[in-house]
Amino acid sequence: MRAREPGAGALALLLNLPASLVLLLVLAWPVLYAGWLSLHEVSLRQLRTGEMPFTGLANYARLFRDDVFWLALQHTLVFVGISVALEVTIGLAVALVIEDDRVALARVTRVLLLVPWGVPPVVNGLLWSFIFNAQYGYLNRALLALGVLREPVNWLGDPTLAMGAVIVAYVWRTTPFNILLYHAGLRGIPPEYYEAASVDGASGWRGFWHITLPLLRPVIAVSLILRTAFGFMVFDEIFAITQGGPGNATWVAAWYTYRTAFQPPFNVGLGAASAWVLALILALTGLAYARLVGRRLETA
């Protein structure tokens, strides 16, 4: 008797089971373990002895009473808002330029734009820390030679300039990701739409506003969700360029978590609570993006 073949749903579940188990072990287990740590008093001594007293929500209460945590969260929101806006704007502008085959260097630019994206984040931070150095940095030397500055500027030592320097370094590395997304989206727009708009007398700006932007909306939504999530998790540039300084001027949420958990007094439980709060903010932000974009697409 011929064996009964599994249905489409059962077959899909069976084929995805190995990958699901790997994701469960690699992603879900560390997240759940961090949540368990956030409910306990955990330090180096407790990790060594294995005795971790249960404290309930005490770590979260302590976290919300910490002014430095709120300052780091405020800095994170500023960092994410400015960096994502720059990534989207610059990425879309560059994608439109390199999409035009009439530009002589368009093909070369498509290759060169991958260079910043391929630089490791810590290496990128070290590179820009040399550029922004007040004594021998190339930025000061160039601006002094052009007559823009009369004396060197301490970019990384000024609390009002340090965050801007980190944002510049971060955006330089991450914008090529957006450029590639938008370039792929532009390639998927049929040229007949623009030809029809041109026949109807529409200008280039009206074609961009009524054709390009609406058709790129799903791509922009994906880039917003991804870049916002990665922006909230920024750490490498902070570590390599400012290490949170000067003072607390460039403390962000991920840096707060790192300093709390892995530097004296090594309060791992409080650091895990901070990480979970950050994860909750990311989840809520992603849901808000998804609902907003979903409604826009339904009404489009």
Residue 96 · residue 207 · CB < 8 Å? no
For all residues of the chain together, what is the average pLDDT?
88
Residue tagged 């950050």 (tokens): 278
- CATH number of the domain at 37-299, please? 1.10.3720.10
Instruction: Kindly report, residue by residue over 150-188, the tens digit of the pLDDT.
Output: 999 999 999 989 999 999 999 999 999 899 899 889 988
Work out the average pLDDT over 10-20.
84
Instruction: Kindly report, residue by residue over 234-260, the tens digit of the pLDDT.
Output: 999 999 999 999 999 999 999 999 999
> Is the pLDDT reported for residue 297 higher than 60?
no
| pLDDT value at residue 217 | 87
Work out the average pLDDT over 123-133.
95
Higher local confidence (pLDDT), 23 or 143: 143
Higher local confidence (pLDDT), 110 or 207: 207
| pLDDT value at residue 8 | 73
Work out the average pLDDT over 105-132.
84
Residue 291 · residue 283 · CB < 8 Å? no
Q: How many Cα atoms sit within 13 Å of 52 on the Cβ side?
A: 18
Q: Distance from CA of residue 83 to its chain's centroid?
A: 8
Question: pLDDT-derived band of residue 106, with 50, 70 and 90 as boundaries?
Answer: low
Task: Name residue 54's beta-bridge partners.
Answer: 40
Domain ranges of the chain: 37-299
Contacts of 250 (CB under 8 A, 6+ apart): 75, 162, 163, 166, 238, 241, 242, 244
Q: Indicate the pTM of the whole model.
A: 0.88
